[in-house]
């Protein structure tokens, strides 16, 4: 049983003008700190998050994870969520709970959050804060690049008329909800419009059998990452979850490599 067991209560922070209550868990350890950024409708108790919590404890690393507003143990309504809002959640938790360099591990939408955090850190002149990024089935700009082109006329009409649309989910009995605000805010947070200067090594792991995020999207992302330390690993039979034992082992090795690289460059 690890220190990250469900009996451990989360900490909470009030974020934004609406003072929404954001839940997070943190474990102090050696630098760099691994930071888990989950996907759309996911939470900080997911299989990959728990795996990384155990890895961090075993290796004596710091570890931090959070639930965006409207997710998991955090407050706020899910339908009020946007990329910009969830970036603010993650940034506030990082600033309050983590000192020193971090390795951002972003899954699906969490990769978009991670890339926006890197852009914000760079704009603030803090180029040493993010020591590495591990992006799993990355879905940056998914609203504009992956969803909008595939919406049919009825879905577009529903989005314009009702302010939201729903789609069946492969991961939950309840359908996924996508709001007009999510799409509009997404256009203000696009990252794949130019080069993305991360100032750190980036490792991408992408399943080629992913039905949600085609592996070609990950390849396009690589073209926007000019840093020489960018690596992509394609898993021939990997799906979007990347949660099989062999996938987790690959994620663990990639995280360890990024930790070692950050220490070598310190």
Asked if 40 and 92 touch (Cβ cutoff 8 Å), the reply is no
Is 175 domain-assigned?
no
For residue 99, tell me if it sits in a domain: yes
Is residue 186, in this structure, part of any structural domain at all? no
Residue 38: give its domain's CATH number. Answer: 3.40.50.1820
Count Cα atoms within 13 angstroms, Cβ side, for 171. Answer: 14
Q: Is the peptide bond before 32 cis (omega within 30 degrees of 0)?
A: yes
* Contact present, 259 and 59 (Cβ < 8 Å): yes
Burial class (CB in 10 A: 0-12, 13-18, 19+), 141: buried
Domain annotation covers residue 70: yes
193: left (phi over 0), alpha (psi -120 to 50) or beta: alpha
Predicted confidence (pLDDT) per residue in 176-211, tens digit = 999 999 999 999 999 999 999 999 999 999 999 999
Q: Is residue 76 part of a domain?
A: yes
Here the tokens at position 165 are 């649309």
Q: What's this model's pTM, rounded to 2 decimal places?
A: 0.95
Please report whether residue 159 resides in a domain.
no
**pLDDT range class, residue 174, cuts 50, 70, 90:** confident
Decide if 116 contacts 189 (C-beta within 8 A).
yes
pLDDT digits (tens, 9 = 90+) for 124-137: 998 889 999 999 99
Give the rounded percent of residues in the chain with a pLDDT score beyond 70. 97
Query: Which residue segment(s) compose the domain that 98 sits in?
Result: 11-140+193-264
Q: Cβ(252)–Cβ(61) under 8 Å?
A: no
Instruction: Kindly state whether residue 214 falls inside one of the protein's structural domains.
Output: yes
Domains held by the chain: number: 1
Between 178 and 167, residue with greater pLDDT: 178
pLDDT band at 28 (very low <50, low <70, confident <90, very high): very high
């Amino acid at each position: 049983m690890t220190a990250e067991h469900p009996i451990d209560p989360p900490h909470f922070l009030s974020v934004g003008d609406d003072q929404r209550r954001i839940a997070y868990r943190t474990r102090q350890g050696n630098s760099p700190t691994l930071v888990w950024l989950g996907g759309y409708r996911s939470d900080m108790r997911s299989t990959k998050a728990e795996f990384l919590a155990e890895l961090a404890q075993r290796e004596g690393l710091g570890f931090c994870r959070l639930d965006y507003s409207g997710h998991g143990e955090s407050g706020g309504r899910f339908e009020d969520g946007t990329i910009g809002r969830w970036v603010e959640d993650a940034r506030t938790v990082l600033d309050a709970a983590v000192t020193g360099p971090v390795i951002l591990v972003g899954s699906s939408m969490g990769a978009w959050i991670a890339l926006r955090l890197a852009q914000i850190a760079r704009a603030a002149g803090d180029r040493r804060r993010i020591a590495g990024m591990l992006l799993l089935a990355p879905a940056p700009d998914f609203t504009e690049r992956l969803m909008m082109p595939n919406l049919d006329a009825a879905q577009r009409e529903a989005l314009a008329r009702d302010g939201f649309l729903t789609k069946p989910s492969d991961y939950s009995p309840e359908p996924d909800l996508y709001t007009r605000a999510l799409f509009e805010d997404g256009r203000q947070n696009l990252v794949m419009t130019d080069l993305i200067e991360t100032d750190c090594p980036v490792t991408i792991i992408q399943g080629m059998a992913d039905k949600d995020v085609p592996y070609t999207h990950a390849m396009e992302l690589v073209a926007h990452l000019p840093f020489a330390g960018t690596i992509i690993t394609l898993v021939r039979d990997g799906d979007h979850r990347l949660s099989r034992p062999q996938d987790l082992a690959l994620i663990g090795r990639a995280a360890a490599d990024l930790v070692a690289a950050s220490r070598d460059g310190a």
